Amino acid sequence: MQTELSNLLGVEHAVFGFTPFPAVAAAISRAGGFGVLGAVRYTAPDDLKRDLDWIDAHVDGRPYGLDVVMPAKKVEGVTEADVEAMIPAGHRQFVRDTLAKYGVPELAEGEASGWRITGWMEQVARSQLDVAFDHPIRLLANALGSPPADIVARAHERGVLVAALAGSARHALKHKEAGIDIVVAQGYEAGGHTGEIASMVLTPEVVDAVAPLPVLAAGGIGSGRQIAAALALGAQGVWLGSLWLTTAEADLHSPALTRKLLAAGSGDTVRSRALTGKPARQLRTEWTDAWDDPHGPGTLPMPLQGLLVAEAVSRIQKYEVDPLLGTPVGQIVGRMNDVRSVRAVFDDLTRGFERAVDRVNRIAGRSGQ
């Protein structure tokens, strides 16, 4: 599964694996793909440095990247406390009432929320990059579109390629104008923040719009034949995220959540603003239903919603409150039916890719050529 882009980055397979888990990112790179560590959960630079140091020691010299979340436009002088003050009291009461309805225990006295959304704030992302640029990352990806121009320049000065996610050809063209090196065309089926255009339609539209920039296809991809289809549509690789959540190297800290993912079908996800304030595909739960209920207060815009629900999400996860327990995941969850190693997943992807290519060659009358 080699393309011009994979050759440029020195990887065997044009499979880019996004994950919040350092062990998964390192395993993806060791398996011949390109591991990309999600940085949004790192609010302390020392924690990110620790995990990047660990990845450096466990990728066997192979390349990897980092994914951050930062807006293209800078807002001066806004602190987390300023944002917290904007949250209406009625929304805070709705959170308390919903947690009480399902008997969710409080955190222990003095225990801080283990999940914070401050990684969405620009100053946090910049501190992450101060750490990351001291490590041998080869790719910087931004989930909120093009990073600020000075960040793109810093990356290019260090020989780091910059990628940005796009949900439409219009967004992709803006990335090209901003000097981005790689566009990730993320379709409607994807986990996390995603637009409304399906991958089969979106990928060729973006490929044509930004040519000759390389495009990675994302959303609903979890098999070798789907990778073959993405390359046939003009992509130079694929960007996979959800598929790694049920690998042996992933550390969800929740057996109950793993069970829910393994049992879920492709129709068991929903695009909801419940987690961050922007539409994000995730497991459908009674928590997402409560926020999407027209009789409720409705969600707040980013980053208010994320700050509002941060402690609640931590409590739900810590105590594994099954009706409310969920996670961002794409529609490919219907294929995630067992726990396998990252290497086993790669073996399945490569075999499926070879079978798909052979099948197309036979149809085209090129078998054995």
Query: Rounded to whole angstroms, how far apart are CA atoms 241 and 164?
Result: 15
Query: Rounded to whole angstroms, how far apart are CA atoms 111 and 105?
Result: 13
Residue type, 37: L
CA 128 to mean position of chain CA atoms: 17
Query: Rounded to whole angstroms, how far apart are CA atoms 334 and 113?
Result: 31
Give the pLDDT confidence score for residue 200 in this predicted structure.
97
Give the pLDDT confidence score for residue 71 in this predicted structure.
67
Q: Are strands 15-19 and 34-38 parallel, antiparallel or unpaired?
A: parallel
Give the pLDDT confidence score for residue 125 in this predicted structure.
83
Residue position matching structure tokens 């997402």: 288
pLDDT along the chain (369 residues), means of 10: 95 97 98 96 91 98 94 61 87 97 91 58 84 97 89 96 97 96 97 94 98 97 97 98 97 93 97 93 98 94 88 93 97 96 97 96 77
Query: Rounded to whole angstroms, how far apart are CA atoms 222 and 313?
Result: 27
Q: Does the reported pTM lie above 0.85?
A: yes
Give the pLDDT confidence score for residue 281 in this predicted structure.
97
Give the pLDDT confidence score for residue 75 in this predicted structure.
54
Other CB atoms closer than 10 Å to residue 177's CB: what's the count?
Answer: 10
